[in-house]
Amino acid sequence: MDASSHIKVDETSIRYDGWRIVAVCFWVAIFGWGLGFYGQTVYVAELHRLRGWPTSLISSGTTFFYLLGALLLVFVSEAIRIFGPRNCLLAGVCAMAAAALLIGRVTEPWQLYAADAVLAFGWAGTSIGVITNTLGLWFDQKRGMAISLALNGASFGGIIGVPLLVVAIGRFGFSGAMMLAAIVMLASTVPVILILVGRPPAHRVETELPAAETSSASRIRALASRNVAFLTVSIAFALVLCAQVGFVVHLITFLDPVIGREHAAIAVAVLTAMAVVGRVLFSTVIDRLNQRLASALSFASQTVALAVIINSRDETLLIGACALFGFSVGNMITLPSLIIQREFDPRSFGVLVSLATAITQVTYAFGPGIIGLLRDVSGSYTLPFYGCIGLELTAAGLIMVRGRSSA
């Protein structure tokens, strides 16, 4: 390894170029999660209202979106290495905007699946896989903080995205609102990416080369599939995110008849606002905590919130429970990356994060569809939401099994 590999930069300096990339990723995440993740709860409710399709049918489109997105996420690290972070981000933004236009014009079930396929490409290019891999090219010592700050954009996507979509739909109709969202996304993200995202620092690129030479991405994935520490992280968060995603996607549909559509949108906004609060507070102490124990406690707090939501019809209590649930929502997408960074070879970070993200997404892809099916069969959300509690408690036990991490 030559001397260039040992070049040191001050990642704590406000002048360090990496913080511009954090800002870009934050902005991209707002739209990635606003239209790709939190937007699903709006799409399910709106398509059910407009088309009269069964909840399970619409939710299955969401499941298809997550499954295809998971397949694409596996190869994000290779795509960034081949095409560069700028091109990958631009491709993701354009695909997301195209998907928004298509979803707004859906009139047949097959069209929903086609739109969700395009949305999956947009999700792969705007979500955690591309963000963590991109930031990994600029950060080493401060990588955890950079990821945490950038992924606050995901929470802001829910805080401002869902209420704005609901308001825009009320004013312009579903199709008009989705067109407006696509235009705003393209106009505000493409120039920022083109101007601010350049070539990664040479010393960071060069330190990645030995990993590519001595252990290919496929070999890293093969070793990870037999590593207990990696599997317990991936499976535990897969179970939790299956419950979390399924719950969030159906939240407006569940709350609409109880407290009304507008107040339901407020509840989602409160949930995501608390996700920001939780992630910011965690980021100040998480490097000093047992991250697996912190994860288990976060899972347990969500089970308490779910129990209250299932058994209460009081608006204040429901919104308060959504706030409690939301406090750990943001950390569910941040903690896996931080645990992997702490427990595994840093040269494998990009591949392992992409793989873990894909595993969790394959699993939680079934969350919305299963909850929708159980809701249609049982006639209420009580049974599926209690199932979510079971998944969370199982994950709380599993995450504490560390095994032996790779060197």
Q: Is the pLDDT of residue 205 over 80?
A: no
What pLDDT is recorded for position 47?
A: 87
Q: Output the DSSP codes for 221-233.
A: HHHHTT-HHHHHH
What pLDDT is recorded for position 51?
A: 83
Residue 192's nearest CA partner among 89, 101, 46 is 89
What pLDDT is recorded for position 100?
A: 93
Q: Which residue has the higher pLDDT, 236 or 344?
A: 236
For residue 327, give both structure tokens: 């406090």
Pair 95, 404: CB distance under 8 Å: no
In tens, the pLDDT along 249-276 reads 788 888 888 888 778 888 888 887 888 8
In tens, the pLDDT along 221-232 reads 888 888 898 999
Pair 330, 152: CB distance under 8 Å: yes
In tens, the pLDDT along 63-88 reads 888 889 888 888 888 888 889 899 99
Q: Is the pLDDT of residue 6 over 50?
A: no
Pair 309, 318: CB distance under 8 Å: yes
Share of the chain above pLDDT 70, in %: 92
Instruction: Report angle CA 312, 39, 235 to the nearest 5 degrees.
Output: 75
* Placement of tokens 């070049």 in the chain: 7
Confidence of residue 404 (pLDDT cuts 50, 70, 90): low
For residue 163, give both structure tokens: 């209420």
Helices (H), 137-290: 143-150, 152-196, 202-214, 217-224, 228-259, 261-285
Longest dimension (CA), the chain: 66
What pLDDT is recorded for position 198?
A: 84
Confidence of residue 210 (pLDDT cuts 50, 70, 90): very low
Share of the chain above pLDDT 90, in %: 33
Domains of the chain with bracketed CATH: 15-207+217-398 (1.20.1250.20)
In tens, the pLDDT along 355-389 reads 888 888 888 778 877 888 888 888 889 999 999 99
Confidence of residue 7 (pLDDT cuts 50, 70, 90): low
What is the Cα–Cα distance from 372 to 61, expressed in whole angstroms? 11
What pLDDT is recorded for position 57?
A: 84
Pair 275, 329: CB distance under 8 Å: yes
What pLDDT is recorded for position 209?
A: 43
Instruction: State the CB neighbour count (10 A cutoff) for residue 223.
Output: 14
Region 45-65: mean pLDDT is: 83
Pair 245, 59: CB distance under 8 Å: no
For residue 316, give both structure tokens: 């204040």
In tens, the pLDDT along 97-148 reads 999 999 999 988 899 999 999 999 999 999 888 998 898 888 877 777 788 8
What pLDDT is recorded for position 1?
A: 35
For residue 41, give both structure tokens: 């709860």
Pair 181, 168: CB distance under 8 Å: yes
Region 331-341: mean pLDDT is: 84
Q: What is the overall mean pLDDT for the chain?
A: 84
What pLDDT is recorded for position 5?
A: 43
Q: Is the pLDDT of residue 9 over 90?
A: no
Residue 124's nearest CA partner among 358, 367, 353 is 358
Contact residues for 381 (Cβ-Cβ < 8 A; gap 6+) = 250, 254, 310, 371, 375
For residue 291, the one-letter residue type is Q
